[in-house]
Structure 1
Amino acid sequence: MVARLYWGRALRDFGDGFVAVLLPVYLAALGLGAFEIGLVATAALLGSAAMTLGIGWLGARHDTARLLVVAAVLMVATGLVFAGANAFPVFLFVAFAGTVNPSAGSVSIFVPLEHAVLSRSVPDERRTASFAAYSLVGALAGALGGFAAATPDLMAWAGVSQLAAIRGMFVLYAALGVGAALLYRVVPTAAGVGQTKGAPLGPSRRIVLKLAGLFSIDAFAGGFAVQSLLALWLFERFGLSLIQAGFFFLWSGVLAAFSYPVASWLAARIGLVNTMVFTHIPSSLCLIGAALVPNLDLALALLLVRSALSQMDVPTRSSYVMAVVTPPERAAAASVTSVPRSLAAAASPALAGALYATGLTAWPFIACGALKIAYDLLLLWTFRHVRPPEEQPGR
């Protein structure tokens, strides 16, 4: 079952990897400006938030495998409509109602369901390592997807126009959704699903709401530097081609991927919260530095260092949320902590697009870094004494 989840995530993160890079290029080729591209990213994140909230409520009452299959079918429809659309209102609607992911990260309606299945499949002692492996698989697939974003430029050598090639990549995204649906069809259901009564969140409500509030600060900050906008910044400030950007996002993703097992190793020694905080702060400083330096090589170097550090909080955060709630609340907790992240992240891409359109191209990244540092300090102060089971004395 765990292997099927890993393969399912690999397929959809591969698709998210190239879509996040190609989305601004595709929309710009169809005549959309930076502000409109930011609005499409905002719509995608808002839609993800709404659907994630619904998934959290349904996940306590319905077959997890069926919900995962429904989400995969939605991925298929999203790819096909994006491949054939031309009008801004259509892109805006499908971004909201579909699965397109401008951040190429863990903002997804799949996440609460996969987290609940994974956490019930392993013991406490292996939970963080399992989430690290889950994140590693997704990040490597996303890195390969980012590299695959160079495909339209490569196909130009064969006489295929860039626009036609990008449309073909969205068809590939739909095909990956078909593969994910086939994998999710065989995920078994947990005992008792469909029998839950009342609110999915119970005794852990208070701690979950505190985490959700803090995570929303982090996500709002991250929305200023989603991968689509970062790609747009690299294209326009430094004139990167799709091939060059593909190489950069490949190595960026590889560095992020191999930081996950390091995060698991580190968490076993200094704790989950400390790992989240003390790897995140340096990565934010690197992002601020990259926004300010005038040299491409130095900017890319700082961004690569950031990639090696910024995602170490992903498996540790997921593991921590699953650890501090009761097992029946896990799907709801994953949803409730994800929804504010998506809502908060949805506001900032449009703001970043507006700043970018006025010529303040460095400010979105400076704002991202500063807000993330503030979040890290608040998280450390609020949860320094709330320990998961494996960190309790005597374990």
Structure 2
Amino acid sequence: MAFLVTQIKWFYHEFGIKSLYHTGWDAWLIILTRCTRMFAYGTNSLILALFFSALDFSDFHIGLFMTLTLLGDVLLSVLLTLVADRLGRRKILFAGSFLMVLSGIAFALFENFWILLFAAVVGVISATGGDFGPFRAIEESTLSHLTTPRTRADVLAWYITTASIGSALGVELTGRVVHYLQHREGWTIVDAYHMVFWIYSAMGVVNMVLTILLSKKCEIAQEKMESEEGEVLLDEMDEQDERDSEETAIPSPTDTSESSISEKKSRFAQISQATRLVMYKLWFLLIVDSLADGMVGYSLTTYYMDQKFDLPKSTLGDITSISYVLSSCSSIFAGPLSRRLGLINTMVFTHLPSSAAVLLFPVPSSIFMTVALFFIRTGLNNMDQAPRSAFIAAVVKPEERTAVMGITSMLRTLAATAGPSVTGILAGNDRFWIAFVAAGALRIAYDLGLWAMFINMTLHQHEEKGGGKEMADVARRENDEEELMDIQRHPNEG
């Protein structure tokens, strides 16, 4: 029994559950919200391309739809992430969930290409199965705000892990639902697809409820409120002393223009020059990686396997679901690996085998080897996500995180928009396989460039000097717990 308790404690500390516990209830809600949203994205990632094919849309139109949908995600992400801190993160997340509901209803009711395109562009539909909308940047910024440098990688790892679980469940359910309904009397395959989009809308409603339950701690304004309140009284006392001299002084045009410029900078130029110098290099690499991901997104990959091997929809669902489960299992190890290998090493050495699997994906002629490569790709594909988010949070100032992550999400989505159109053209000319070769080569270039540029970079420079009373309290509690466990493990020492 003592051995079992020891193993449970080891798992609790080693795999980041302790970090998640100390972060608080809001972290659990955000993670659950992402899980349910990815469940919804999983439902349409399996069927979206198949749905349009069943409606007799050409491969070119399928690629065009996905490209324009991703462009809509770019615009939505830019608009919502730039105002999220000012208007309130919870309000923006709630609005995004509401758009999910509307988009799902449109896809459940209509079959016209342009109506569906409009619903996808102005709403929230995952064209590739990935989380390219406005949610992720805001949620990752919020989790970075709620965590310390010590707990951040673990919490973000669980954020990624549970997302993969949600996707797996969504894909598995979709495959089973479509297979069951299409064999019922009076149901066509298109009717079965429409039912799946009703499930998508229902998950949007669940997200709206979960967002309402988030506390005010998620807002960036709460972090500054105490210090600002303490400065208000001093500012009011200084105002009276300065008023007399200000009334007699004549403001120069230079002062007026500088004041105006300063006000504009406070609103629009949210990112410092030092941060930009780092992010320019990272953004370039992420654009390369996202272009590759857009070319061979999960929807297009399942469509490729369906064309090549003519698999039943339930079998496609099983394959994709298993791949997401593998992704979930591997993502759990992202936190422990980050602590031992470092953020950049974890990102590169877990993503590189996945990139190689993409490059080799069209080579096998058997379904067994094709699925094996697919499992390698998806099983390792998400292990770099939590370290990447932790890396971005570690190299930018806390007040810049939402803006930086929003721009990062925008650039990644914008780069991914070109991919589906290119793949759609290739698929129409029986050259679908070229998309996988090109995407794999681009992903490998991203991995090698990431290691070369950032392996020796110093992290947490903006957090070492401070971090707030709440972070200090959390860190002190963590240290106290570890000291207590050490005493329990070695009672005779000291």
Q: Give the TM bin, normalised by the shorter chain.
A: over 0.9
Within-5 A mapping of 1:319-330: 319-330=390-401
> Residues 181-238 of structure 1: CA distance to partner in whole angstroms, max 9, x if unpaired?
1111122332527996442222522222322221111000111110111011011101
Match of 1:84 in 2: 109
> Residues 154-201 of structure 1: CA distance to partner in whole angstroms, max 9, x if unpaired?
123332322112111111111110110111112233252799644222
Alpha-carbon RMSD: 1.9
Match of 2:314 in 1: 243
Match of 2:84 in 1: 59
Matches of 1:103 and 1:277 in 2, distance apart? 23
**Residue 163, structure 1, aligned to residue 190, structure 2:** yes
Within-5 A mapping of 1:54-133: 54-133=79-158
Matches of 2:293 and 2:124 in 1, distance apart? 19
8 Å contact 1:12–1:177 — kept in the other structure?
yes
**Residue 294, structure 1, aligned to residue 365, structure 2:** yes
Match of 1:154 in 2: 180
Which of 176, 180, 183 does residue 203 from structure 2 map onto? 176
The unaligned stretches of length 5 or more in structure 2 are 1-25, 226-265, 465-474, 476-494
Q: 3-state DSSP class of the match of 1:204?
A: helix
Q: How many residues align?
A: 393
Which of 387, 403, 408 does residue 337 from structure 1 map onto? 408
8 Å contact 2:145–2:220 — kept in the other structure?
no
Matches of 2:330 and 2:394 in 1, distance apart? 21
Q: 3-state DSSP class of the match of 1:125?
A: coil
Matches of 1:205 and 1:187 in 2, distance apart? 31
Which of 214, 221, 225 does residue 192 from structure 1 map onto? 221
1:130 deviates by 0.3
8 Å contact 2:81–2:134 — kept in the other structure?
no
2:117 alignment partner AA: L
Q: More deviation in 191-200 or 138-147?
A: 191-200
Match of 2:456 in 1: 385
> Residues 76-135 of structure 1: CA distance to partner in whole angstroms, max 9, x if unpaired?
000011111221112222222121112222322101111111111111111001000011
Larger radius of gyration: 2
Which of 337, 345, 348 does residue 266 from structure 1 map onto? 337
Matches of 1:263 and 1:2 in 2, distance apart? 18
The unaligned stretches of length 5 or more in structure 1 are none
8 Å contact 1:29–1:163 — kept in the other structure?
yes
**Residue 228, structure 1, aligned to residue 299, structure 2:** yes
Matches of 1:141 and 1:290 in 2, distance apart? 25
Matches of 1:198 and 1:345 in 2, distance apart? 25
2:144 alignment partner AA: S
Matches of 1:360 and 1:235 in 2, distance apart? 15
8 Å contact 1:44–1:95 — kept in the other structure?
yes
Q: 3-state DSSP class of the match of 2:87?
A: coil
Matches of 2:339 and 2:155 in 1, distance apart? 13
Q: How does the TM-score come out when normalised to structure 1?
A: 0.95
Match of 1:8 in 2: 33
Matches of 1:187 and 1:334 in 2, distance apart? 20
Q: How does the TM-score come out when normalised to structure 2?
A: 0.77
Matches of 1:271 and 1:168 in 2, distance apart? 45
Q: 3-state DSSP class of the match of 1:292?
A: coil
8 Å contact 1:14–1:143 — kept in the other structure?
yes
8 Å contact 2:37–2:204 — kept in the other structure?
yes
Bigger relative CO (Cα 8 Å, ≥ 6 apart): 1
